[in-house]
């Protein structure tokens, strides 16, 4: 009896994340695009993930770059409330990406190396680059 009550109470506090899908086509109109992005933003604000799918029909598959640009623009428009879980994936006639709620924080010092103040570095900086001391002989 105690175990049942504990499980029941723990399930109350859980929120099940659902994946909602937004379907686009490469030749979508601007107003339709805004409506779809507004709907996706609403899904994300409720804590759900959004799967953005671009479907190509017939000759549209030849112009794959139009659909890719459309999905990238969609991701950029929702960039303030979501982050893509993985890069764009093409599976046959479909191009899709999954957006998760929340914004990924960028690190300020990523990729930057700090120069340490070691005596070796200071010695080389003080010498004239034209002197024979800095040149290596083979």
CATH number reported for the structural domain that contains residue 38 in this entry: 3.30.110.10
Please give the helix or strand (H or E) that residue 83 lies within, else none. Answer: strand 82-84
Average pLDDT over residues 57-70: 91
Q: Is the pLDDT of residue 132 over 60?
A: no
pLDDT recorded at residue 2: 64
Number of structural domains (the chain) is 1
Nearest-10 Cα torsion for 109, 113, 115, 118: 120
Q: What pLDDT is stored for residue 107 in this prediction?
A: 47
User: Is 122 among the domain residues?
Assistant: no
6 within some domain: no
User: What is the CB neighbour count within 10 angstroms for residue 94?
Assistant: 13
Amino acid 137: pLDDT? 58
pLDDT band at 70 (very low <50, low <70, confident <90, very high): very high
Please give the DSSP secondary-structure letter assigned to residue 127.
S
Q: Is residue 9 in a domain?
A: no
* Contact assessment for residue 16 and residue 49, using Cβ atoms and an 8 Å cutoff: no
Number of other CB atoms surrounding residue 90 within 10 Å: 14
In a domain, 116, yes or no: no
| Exposed e or buried b per residue across 28-46, where buried means at least 16 C-beta atoms within 10 angstroms of its C-beta | beeeeeeebbeebbebbee
How many Cα atoms within 13 Å fall on the side-chain side of residue 36? 22
53 found inside a domain: yes
CA dihedral angle for residue 40, residue 42, residue 48, residue 53, rounded to 10 degrees: -10
Q: Give residue 36's domain range.
A: 16-101
Of 59-68, 92-101, 102-111, minimum mean pLDDT range: 102-111
pLDDT at res. 4: 72
User: Where is pLDDT greater, at 126 or 99?
Assistant: 99
**Number of C-beta neighbours around residue 22 at 10 A:** 19
Reply yes or no on whether the pLDDT at 69 is more than 70.
yes
């Amino acid at each position: 009896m105690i175990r049942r009550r504990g499980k029941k109470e723990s399930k109350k506090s859980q929120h099940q994340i659902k994946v909602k899908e937004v379907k686009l086509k490469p030749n979508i109109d601007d107003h339709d695009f805004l409506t779809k992005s507004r709907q996706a933003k609403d899904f994300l604000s409720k804590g759900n993930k959004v799967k953005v799918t671009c479907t190509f029909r017939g000759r549209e598959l030849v112009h794959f770059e139009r659909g890719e640009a459309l999905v990238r623009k969609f991701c950029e428009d929702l960039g303030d409330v979501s982050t893509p879980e993985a890069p764009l994936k093409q599976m046959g006639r479909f191009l899709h990406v999954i957006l998760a709620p929340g914004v990924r924080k960028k690190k300020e010092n990523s990729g930057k190396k700090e120069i340490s103040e070691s005596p070796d570095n200071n010695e080389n900086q003080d010498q004239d680059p034209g002197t024979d001391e800095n040149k290596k002989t083979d």
